Amino acid sequence: MAIINNYNVEVVEREIVLPALPVQEHVLPFSNIDLTIPAVGIHVFFCYEKPSKTSFTSVVSNLKSSLSKALVSFDAFAGRLVTNGVGETELVCNNKGVEFAKAYALTSLDQVKFYNPIAAVGNKLVPPTLAKDSQGHGTPVFSVQVTEFSCGGIVVGCTFNHRVADSFSANMFFTHWANISRNEPIEPITPNFTRSILVPRDPPYHSSEFEKIYMKLQPLQQPIKQTPEPAKASRIYYLGAKDIEKLQLSANKDGNNYSKLEAFSAYFWKLLIQVLDIEGTMHCHIGIPIDGRSRLKKMGMPANYFGNVVLTSFAVANVGNIKKEPLSCVAKLIHDAIYRAANEEYFQSVVDLVEMSKPSTVAARAFVQRDEPILVVSSGLRFPLYEIDHGWGKPILANYYLPFSRGYVMPTPSPHGDGSWLIYVNFLVDQLKAMESHPNFTLHKI
C-alpha cells in the first residue's frame, strides 16, 4: 500500500470531561525544579489496530468515562494555570476538566508515514499547544484527541504542560487511565503531590560551579526583534538490538562498563559533530536529563511523586577532540557528567539556586546561550508506552512528539520487545539531511 505524504483529519466533537468526583479547589505549588522547566506542551500518541470486539463509539465512551475517573486521583491534570495577583503563574486544581476531541481521518493507518512526525502527527493527531480556555478559567493542563482511521485503526493523542509534569508523571497517569479503562481489579496508582520534599535548605547555598551551569533570566526591558526560527525536521528511526550492542561493545572495548544509553549518546554526539560546519576549536555541549526519583532517598522522594524531578547534566568538549577521539573517550565524558549530577547534592543545590535567584527564573546556560551547538539525549527507555492498553489491545506504535525542540534525541523501546529501540529526533533540516547521508549513520526509518 502506498505511503501518503499528507492527509486530513476532521475534528467532529469537542467537550470537557470533568472529574467523576470533584476535589476541594486548591493551589498546587510549583517546586523549584518545576520552575526550571519551560511551560511548553508535550505531545504523546498511541496507535492501535482496529478493535475486534467493540465499535469506535464504544471506545470513545469508555475513554471518556475512564478519564473522568482517573482525574479524581490526578486532579492536577483537571486544573488550570492562572496568573496570581503578583504576576506569577500558579496551578489551581479547580475541577475544570480536560478538553476531549473526537476526530476522523479519511485514510488508512498503515498509509501514514510516522517516520516523519511533523507531517504525520503535528496539527493532526495530537491536541495543539494548550491555550487559555474560553470561559476565562485559565490555561488547561491536559487535553486528549481520539482519531479513527478509515481502516478502523485508532490513535489516542495527548498534550500536557511540561511545567506541571515530567514524562514519568505523565506515564504514571496514562497507566492509571488504561487500568481503569480495562476495568480490571488492579491496585490503583496514587500520585504523591507533596511539594515539601523539594524545599531549599535553611539557609540555601550552592557552590559557584552551579552558576557556570545555570543563569538567571531577567525580564526583557524592551521588545527585541524576532528572527525567523530555522526550519526543523523530525524523524522516528529504528535501531536494532544488535546494532545497539555493537555500539556498547565499541565503547567498552578498553574494559569500560558504559551503558547502552551512554554508548548511543556518544555515537550520536560524534555523528552531529562530524556533519556540523564549525571550527574545530569551538565547544559543543551534550545534555543528559536525569530523573532524581531513585536518587533522592535522603530527601524522602517517593517513587510515585507527581511533578518534575528531572535535571539535565551537561558535558562539554572541544569539537576537534570529539571528532578524533574514539567512542570510549566520548562515552567517558557523558558517563562522568551523569555521575556528577545523579546525586542529592546536585538536585538540592539547584533547588537552592532557584530559591536564591527569585523572583528571576533560572535556566541552563547551554539552553539559553545558543552560540555553541548543543545536543540533548533524553531517555524514554523505561516508559511503559506499549503497556497502555485500554481494553482493545496494546499500541502498535507509540512515541513522544516534541516539535519545539532543536538538537533533541529520545530513544524509546520499540513495539517488538526484543531490545531494539525507536529513536525520536528533532533537528534543523540541513543538519538532519547531513546526518542521514553520513556513512556512519546506522539508523533506519520506521
What is the end-to-end Cα distance of the chain in Å, rounded? 15
The predicted model gives 72-85 an average pLDDT of 93
Task: Give the Cβ contact number of residue 436 at 10 Å.
Answer: 14
Bridge-based pairing of strands 444-445 and 232-239 is: antiparallel
404, 232 contact by CB (below 8 A): no
Mean pLDDT of 185-214: 90
Tell me how crowded residue 431 is: count the other CB atoms within 10 A of its CB.
20
Go through the domains of the chain in sequence order and give each one's CATH number: 9-189 (3.30.559.10), 230-382+402-445 (3.30.559.10)
Dump pLDDT digits (tens) for 235-273: 999 999 999 999 999 999 989 999 999 999 999 999 999
Contact 111, 7 (CB under 8 A): yes
Strand partners, 103: 11, 147
Per-residue model confidence (pLDDT) at position 368 = 82
Residue 401 has pLDDT above 90, yes or no: yes
Angle at which helices 260-275 and 327-341 cross, to 10°: 120
Give the mean pLDDT of the chain: 91
Q: What is the pLDDT of residues 371-394, one digit of tens each?
A: 788 999 999 999 999 999 999 999
| Structure confidence at residue 134 (pLDDT) | 64
Mean pLDDT, residues 146-152 taken together:
97
- For 266-388, strand residue ranges (E) read 283-291, 310-318, 361-364, 374-377
- Buried/exposed 32-48: b ≥16 CB within 10 Å, e otherwise: bbbbbbebebbbbbbbb
- pLDDT tens across 312-322, in order? 999 999 999 99
Q: Examine the pLDDT at 2 and tell me if it is beyond 70.
A: no
Query: What's the alpha-carbon Rg for the chain, to the nearest Å?
Result: 22
pLDDT of residue 228: 66
What cell was used for 414? 520499540
Quick check: 417 pLDDT over 60? yes
**CA gap 313, 333 in Å, rounded:** 11
Instruction: Give 224's pLDDT tier (boundaries 50, 70, 90).
Output: very low
Single-letter residue type at 50: K
AA identity, residue 315: A
Is a pLDDT exceeding 50 seen at residue 223? no
Q: What is the pLDDT of residue 221?
A: 40
What is the pLDDT confidence band of residue 186, given thresholds at 50, 70 and 90?
Answer: confident
Sheet containing 89-93, strands listed edge to edge, beginning at the edge strand earlier in sequence: 26-28, 89-93, 80-83, 139-140
Phi, psi of 59 (to 5 degrees): -60, -50
Tell me phi and psi for residue 254, to 5 degrees. Answer: -95, 20
CA atoms within 13 A on the CB side of 15: 13
